[in-house]
Amino acid sequence: MALLVSFFLLWGIILSGVRPSSVATLSSPSTVPLKTLHQLLEEADQAAAAAAPQAGPALPLPPSLDPWYRAPTTYDWTQTEPGQVLKIRQAPFLNWTVGNALRAYQLLYRSTDSQYNPAWDVTTLFIPRWQARCSPQTPHLCAHAVLSYQLPYDTCNVDASPSYGLHLGEPYGEIADALALGWFVAVPDYEGPLASYAAGVQAGHATIDGVRAVLQVGGLFGLRMDVTKVALWGYSGGALASEWAAELAVQYAPKMKFAGIALGGLTPNVTGVTDFLNGKEGAGLIPAGLLGIATQHPDAYRWIVSRLRPALRDRFLSVRKMTARQAIRTFMYNDIYSYFVGGYKDLHTRVMQMMYNIDGFMGYHGVPRMPVFIYNAVHDELSDIKEVDELVDRFCGVGANILYHRNLAGTHHQEIVNGRQRAFAWLRSVLDGSYDQLYSSMGCTIQNVTYNLAPYVGWW
């Protein structure tokens, strides 16, 4: 559970929409021939052109009201393979809000939830402007890299998902910067259709399958599939999804190759983060996180609701309709334990511990097989740096390749700025093939660094 102030300031108010995007749906649960996907894309592009806005961008319907955010009903989609594209639509308004994008598409794909049941998720694929130069006659100008960029949206409200929120603008400019390098950029709604905030397995599966979905259609956009490399990047809540993807890939996607993964502002222990935030400015992330992760664990969800004090139950549950910013404002400095009849003990019963064991602790589901860059502020106020140190030590002890920067300057909020250029430089090396020349490709390198580029930023 994490908070990044500029992100919430930008996405704090979710507006009602006026125009749904064009839609295309697969007609068969079997493996879809490339020609069929090509036809679907043509239909989506034609529908988007016919519905092109005449007076600037406008928001589509939010996910809770948009029928596109539903699993197909004309066939048994649960029998498809993880990553199978089920629906495609163009998202033309995102060209207005995200810089350097030639076009944007949304893919609804088959995935797997925390209980290993069939699920679906959505990713937004941005095509870089440079790709306009790509043609059969100029293959050297075609993109050869995909960045799966996990935004932190930190809410159990599905209407704050990135596929919708990006219509209000990009919070950090990092998508635009990645597109300027000629990379395809995919931004998954890794919390899934239940907005399962803080559920690690759900987020990891959704991230992996989002990449699978992009690779399934990438060749249709000129992506050089024979040499394409894929990297993951996430900060804070986005690092949660990215790290879980790295762990789970070993058993969930053993044949998938990732060039590397960059993680900033890690939160390895969900209960530790709860203790850190309780009674402080960011306390509102606790009810959002508890209800979010519990959407994957019905017994725990029922327990949480049953143990809420009657006078406070409605207030606590109202977070389900809030953005992260609204939740922070509503619960700022609250003792969240006091909302429960049994206080702290109610959140550490057997049913709760079972939920945490599955979805809340990093480092127990597998060892990243790709190069990893971790950057974290030593004085991070959301998660104890000792827990990040322990996670790194655990992975390094079993052969992981990690570059770990412990920044002696700044806070959680500041590290997103302090670490950005280092993350970009590292990502460029794994995607352009220069990693072995610039970084150690064996074992772990742990460094205390001092990068103090960002001004002080509080919760607001």
Active-site residues, by number, are 236, 380, 412
Residue type, 390: E
Q: What is the CA radius of gyration of the chain?
A: 21
